[in-house]
Amino acid sequence: MKIAIVTDSTADIPPDLVEQHHIEVVPAIIVMEGKSIQDGKDISRHEFYEKMPTLETLPTTATPSSGTFHSVYERLIQGGAQAILSLHVASRLSGIYNTAKLAGKAFGERVHVFDSGSISMGLGFQVIAAAEAAAQGLSLEKISQHIRTIRKKIRVIAMLDTLENIRRSGRVSWTTARIGSLLRIKPFMEILDGNVLNLGQARTRRKGIEHLKNIIYELGGLERLAIIHSNAEADARQMLADLKLDLPDAPRVVNVTPVIGTHVGPNGLGFAAVLK
Amino acid sequence: MTMPPQPEGSPEFVEKIRQQPIDGLALKNLAAAALTWLRTNHEIVNALNVFPVPDGDTGTNMVLTMQSAYDEIENSPEDHAGRVANDLAQGALMGARGNSGVILSQLWRGFARALDGHDVIEGQTLAEAFAVARDTAYKGVVRPVEGTILTVAKDVAAAAEAALDKTQDPFEILDIVVEAAEASVEHTPELLDVLKEAGVVDSGGKGLYFILEGMLRFSKGMSLDTAVATVQPLSAINFDDAMQTVEPGQDYEVVVDFRPNEPLVLEKFYTDLEEMGTSIQIGEGDGMYRMHIHVPTEKRYEPIDYTMTLGTITKVHIENLLAQMDELEREHQEQPLKLAPVEPGQIAVVTVAPGPGFANVFASLGAAAIVEGGQTMNPSTQDILHSFENLPTDKVIILPNNKNIILAAEAATEVTVKQTAVIPSRTVPQGLSALLRLIPDGDFDNVVKDMTSALEDVQTGEITTATRSVEIDGVNVREGEIIVLHNGQLILSSHNLRDACLQFLEKADADDYELITMFYGADIQKVDAFRIADMIREAYPEHEIEVQDGGQPHYQFIMSIE
């Protein structure tokens, strides 16, 4: 049975892995200076982050249309796919899942849309696992089961450089209710089952990075790891170099999509991991 | 992007629109108006988002969905209302984005279904269409939540049905429906707690309201390209809120009371004022208007001259904002603290704060209760106990922030049935450092451990005036000199505050750190505190320097280096 894997650009899967695993990535939309831009297609991540501080109003984001998903599904089925697994960013954070779900209805049992409950490589690792399982020729049911197992082992944690963007983006309850800090702080957050949790804060970047490393060590054995950042490549590489970890695959360093970047601000640093 | 035909606004135009039956072409104009009005106001909808990343922009999503619906009919000559509605629904479905966009597309789907076979929309049909739209949208959602766009759709349908008793005219029904939608949107926070907590109304519901209002405005010949300028009752204008948003360069506040000679055209009034300044607020009561605006110094008389052309001015008030800001800041400090809300089962932190400024800082970082006290006013066990006994949780962490208060805090833990722990913070900066690590939903023992380990993350400097001559720790101090304690140890004395600060930073190896925070006390003027901070900035150009009002007595500065 030929099974196609679809995700959206908030999965942050590096291009070579997208190609290697034959993953179909639907771009999310960034609205910048009044123009709709396709994530990853019309603007590079580096370009976006360089430009962001010069903009008067923060870019906003939009989901791809259900028509976009519809035509992707249609093309894949015409290309011979007998089933499609479509995995997306947590539905609590984004309308992408529901949009894909709506488009999928037209294809009945052939399109299965999953809510990853996660974001960035936390979603990416689930997608890659699904693609690997599909390549092994596992049944649809086995693959779904596999994705559910992986999902429980995903951890996504990051330190933001500022509260400003996330506060302006959409009022994560703890950024207004609890942490409306008078002091400058760098909040730690975790994405778990689609919730954005506060994991405390640091006041200096150096201490924050130390704290991040400790969190990684305390997770215990890891299957996979990606360092994720919003245009803080140097810090991300340094942190990875400092980490003493024994992993089957070398961890990737990933600049997160502007779709997330506009909400978390530049210089965020964190990781997505799959526990053993 | 396409713009709909703009109504001319003449009575004849309005007459014409409202007299003619709503056929396919009229529906097309209404859809265009809905799209334009929604787009004009979509930032208002975006600003209402409760949920976070990565694409919580309801307004943008709804505009794109509506745009896709309109694109489907834009170039169609179809004049059959049912077929136009069907095309709109098809376009909305294909362009649906985000949760509200998906629901909007379902509303159009239901609306179109009810119009199937109708070449024009009459009152009865319109009410039915709203009802089927509601049913379709509710069915499209697995677990419908009230207080959302669904509720607004439901209230709209009910209002349309009730309106049939009074009128069969579709535009009169639309009038009633828009009013109901507005009331419904305003009511959403009562139905959905997250809205209430965030202090907003539902964004999707608001978007639906703008869609309906856009149609109504078109039928009345009102403009669609100027965002809503809200007029509030005079009593509701809160100038304090406006103060919070003073923009650089807008140095003067001008308030003009006037009675217009002719009915005031609000949009134009608002647009004209926007040319002059920001923070515009307009209030009305008994035909009397009050206009409030912030303008740059050179434009401070412009709003007055302009308003004079519209009517009779009864009162003018001009004030220098920068001076006003200082005063306001002082008042704000006297306002009650905004403590972190705690839910049963969560970990609450109680902290001792030696001044109102510190109390604010602690509260802003998530403290659930504050006990006043410090060096010269140690709170009692009773004071500490009282502060947390009524908190709705049984897990409490206490930050004494002073070596003389640690014992009282520990005693409080022995007489309570709650699960408590004292983190032995000996200075206020230590307490702040520990509080940063609080995870209210975390495991109690782990959180205590983590917070305790953070005590060592920070160096503390306490700077005060010696009350008598003495020699301690090898430092000779004369009464009246400035002395500095580094992590509780007396390390130096100096003739002036400036040198004391600099010497302290040197002795504490501030070079090795990144951030210096200076909390200034009640006995020192803000300007003096900032002057010293500027001097430290010069000496440590690579460091971040932050200045905060601590409000502590006796100590000119409490500093943290981290």
Q: Which CATH class is domain B335-457?
A: alpha beta
CA B53 to CA B473: how far, in whole Å?
54
Strand, coil or helix: what is B224?
Answer: coil
CATH topology of domain B231-322: Alpha-Beta Plaits (3.30.70)
Measured between CB atoms, does A82 come within 8 Å of chain B? no
What is the mean pLDDT of the segment spanning A130-147?
95
* Interface contact B93-A264, CB threshold 8 A: no
B364 and A181 in contact by Cβ < 8 A?
yes
A269-275 and A154-159: which strand pairing?
antiparallel
Contacts of B364 in chain A (CB under 8 A): 179-183
**Distance, CA of B97 to CA of A62 (rounded, Å):** 7
Low-confidence residues of chain B: pLDDT under 50: 1-7, 51-56, 231-246
Query: Looking at per-residue confidence, does B501 or A262 come out higher?
Result: B501
Residue owning tokens 């650009």: A9
- Are the CB atoms for B23 and B79 separated by under 8 Å? yes
Cβ pair A62:B94 closer than 8 A: no
Domain A154-275 top-level CATH class: alpha beta
CA distance B506 to B510: 6
Q: Which residues contact A28 (CB under 8 A, 6 or more apart)?
A: A8, A9, A10, A39, A61, A62, A63, A64, A94, A96, A257, A259, B54, B55
CA distance A119 to chain B (A): 9
Chain-centroid distance of CA A106 in Å reads 27
- Residue A181: per-residue pLDDT: 65
Tokens of A209: 């990075």
Selecting from B68, B450, B515 the residue whose C-beta is nearest the C-beta of A65 gives B68
Taking residue B243's Cβ as centre, other Cβ atoms within 10 Å add up to 18
Residues of chain A positioned with their CB less than 8 A from the CB of B145? none
Is the distance from CB of B304 to CB of B256 less than 8 angstroms?
A: yes
CB B60 within 8 A of CB A60: yes
Cα–Cα separations (whole angstroms), residue B98 to A264, B10, B44, B105, B461: 20, 38, 17, 11, 52
**Averaged pLDDT of chain A:** 91
The DSSP output letter for B7 is P
Whole-number Å distance between alpha carbons of A85 and A130: 8
Residue A47 pLDDT > 90: no
What is the nearest CA distance from A19 to chain B, expressed in angstroms? 25
Q: Which residues make beta-bridge pairs with A196? A: A191
Judged by a CB distance cut-off of 8 A, whether residue A31 touches chain B is yes
Q: Which residues on B lie below 8 Å from A181 (Cβ)? A: 361, 364-365
Nearest-angstrom CA–CA distance, B436 and A203: 8
Nearest 10 degrees: Cα torsion B456, B457, B459, B462: -80
| Contacts with A58 from chain B: Cβ below 8 Å | none
Peptide bond into B541 cis (omega under 30): no
Chain A residues close to B65, C-beta within 8 Å: 65
> How many CA atoms lie less than 13 Å away from A223 in the CB half-sphere?
15
Residue whose C-alpha is closest to residue A121's, from A207, A236, A266, A30:
A236
Question: Closest to A170 (Cβ–Cβ): which among B49, B441, B450?
Answer: B49
A119 with B101: Cβ contact below 8 A:
no
Contacts of A173 in chain B (CB under 8 A): 194, 197-198
Contact A94 B194 (CB under 8 A): no
Counting one residue from chain A and one from chain B, the pairs whose CB atoms sit within 8 A come to 176
- Which pLDDT score, from 0 to 100, does residue B247 have? 53
Name the class of domain A3-28+63-151.
alpha beta
d(CA B215, CA B173): 12
Length of chain B counted residue by residue = 562
Which chain B residue lies closest to A256 (C-alpha atoms)?
A: B54
Looking at residue B511, its amino acid is D
For the segment(s) B11-219, the CATH number from 3.40.120.10, 3.30.1490.190, 3.40.50.10710, 1.25.40.340 is 1.25.40.340
What residues of B are in contact with residue A123 (Cβ under 8 Å)?
A: none
**E strand or H helix at B516:** strand B515-520
Give me the count of residues in chain A: 276
Catalogue the E-assigned strands of B147-267. Answer: 231-233, 252-260
Smallest Cα–Cα separation from A64: which of A12, A7, A18?
A7
Q: What is the dihedral of CA B239, B240, B244, B246, to 10 degrees?
A: 40
Residue of B nearest to A176 (CA): B198
> Do B458 and A202 form a contact (C-beta atoms < 8 A)?
no
Q: Which two tokens stand for residue A238?
A: 């340094």
Tokens matching residue A251: 């961890």
Distance, in angstroms, between A175 CA and closest chain B CA?
10
- Please identify which residue in the block is written with the tokens 């308003």: B307
Please tell me the distance from the alpha carbon of residue A124 to that of residue A126, in angstroms, as a whole number: 5
* pTM reported for the whole predicted model: 0.67
Question: In chain B, where are the structural domains located?
Answer: 11-219, 231-322, 335-457, 459-561
Residues 6+ apart with CB under 8 A from B102: A66, A95, A98, A99, A102, B96, B140
Cα separation, A121 vs A232, whole angstroms? 16
Round to whole Å and give the CA distance between B354 and B375.
Answer: 8
For the domain covering B459-561, report its CATH number. 3.30.1180
Domain ranges for chain A, please list them: 3-28+63-151, 154-275
Q: Cβ contact (<8 Å) for A61 and B55? A: yes
